[in-house]
Chains A and B, each alone.
Chain A
Amino acid sequence: MVPISYYVFLSLAIFSIGLFGVLTRRNALMFLISIELMLNAANLNFVAFSFLHGNLTGQIFTLFILALAAAEVAVGIGIIIVLHRTFSDIDVTKAVTMRW
């Protein structure tokens, strides 16, 4: 078995890639996809530490995060469709009517 710190590095890299996507892209769908990457990084950490300690709590937390990610994507896609209907664009820098 490889050491668990390898998995911590892997999930840190996936999380940073998701953060990079959130910070640099302007498409609202790309926000959603990058957030999925970050959630998967957290899930990978939970499963790795569950294996490290021989305790099932991390795996059950991963199941809950899976369910909440499904809910989050459903609401997020509803918001994006409303955004597209209102502004006829999903560029997040153009939805500025609520600014100030």
Chain B
Amino acid sequence: MIPETNIYDLLSFLFFAAVTLGSSLGVVMVKDVWHSALLLGVALLSIAIHYIILSAEFIAAMQILVYVGGILILISFAIMLIRRNSDPTSNTSPTFPIGPNLLNGTTAVLFFILCSFIIYSTSPLISPIGFPEGAQITTSIGYSLFDIPGSSIESEGFIAAFEIVDIALVAALVAAVMLARRTPTNIISKVSFSFSIPNFLKRGEK
């Protein structure tokens, strides 16, 4: 069945879809990495607006907090760290030659055309069920995350996945610190040196 679509819903969807697509295209097309990081922020914020339209307010808040507030700051931190150390003549700016990348770019465009043809020919225009009026969506997410009964919306329990994500986050952050630490062998040798030759032995040598 064809759902009836409110004209304002359609207009708002089209406007924010245009913002999302335009800024995403800018992310991959702009030559400067810093500019594409800023455009990524615009794309992430407009995707958060799509989440609000789809009545996922908690996910939208988490998107803004985690992506715009965390990941984008990390990426801009890395851009500034790498730019400061490199001299301006080195080739850290992205190169975008047409010749060798023509096949790769065409592959991505063909992927889009193929998948859009598949979606267009298979997906029926069913109208969404949506969440019931006045449903406590954020509360139900909390109940379902910890597998506690009391959720007003149908869902599954995720307590095991929650704990696994917890461990994965800690492991990834420790791994990031270990990777980015500058010359860990020097620290270890300095510690062992101070343990191996105490001060009173040095005084005796003198």
Contacts and interface: CB of A to CB of B under 8 A. Distances in A.
Nearest to B151: A56
B148 interface: no
B67 to A, nearest CB: 7
A54 B182 CA distance: 49
Contacts of A3: 3, 5, 125-128
A54 B54 contact: no
B104 A53 contact: no
Interface in A41-80: 43-44, 47-48, 50-57, 59-60, 62-64, 66-75, 77-80
Q: What's the dominant secondary structure at chain B's contact region?
A: helix
B132 A54 contact: yes
Contacts of A48: 54
B115 A34 contact: no
Contacts of A57: 144, 155-156
B185 interface: no
Interface string B129-142: 11110000100110
A90 B94 CA distance: 9
Nearest to B183: A85
Nearest to A74: B176
A53 B130 CA distance: 7
Interface string A16-58: 1111110111110110111011001001100110111111110
A94 to B, nearest CB: 9
Interface size class of B (residues with CB under 8 A): 35 or more
A1 B13 CA distance: 9
A59 B58 contact: yes
Interface size class of A (residues with CB under 8 A): 35 or more
A55 B74 CA distance: 33
With a 10 A CB-CB cut-off, give which of B44, B59, B81, B137 has the most chain A CB atoms.
Answer: B59
15 contacts: A1-B5, A3-B125, A3-B127, A13-B24, A19-B111, A20-B109, A24-B108, A29-B33, A36-B71, A43-B47, A56-B153, A63-B141, A64-B158, A70-B66, A81-B179
Interface of A: 1-10, 12-14, 16-21, 23-27, 29-30, 32-34, 36-37, 40, 43-44, 47-48, 50-57, 59-60, 62-64, 66-75, 77-82, 84-85, 88-91
Interface of B: 3, 5-6, 9-10, 13, 17, 20-21, 24-25, 27-28, 33, 36-37, 40, 43-44, 47, 50-51, 54-56, 58-59, 62-63, 66-67, 70-71, 74-75, 77-79, 81-82, 85-86, 90-96, 101, 104-105, 107-109, 111-112, 115-116, 119-120, 123-132, 137, 140-141, 144-145, 151, 153-156, 158, 161, 165, 168-169, 171-173, 175-180, 182
Rank and list the top 3 A-B pairs by shortest CB-CB distance, nearest first. A78-B179, A71-B172, A21-B28
Given A18-B24, A51-B54, 13 more contacts: A12-B119, A17-B21, A25-B96, A27-B92, A33-B40, A36-B67, A40-B47, A51-B55, A52-B129, A59-B141, A67-B168, A74-B175, A77-B74
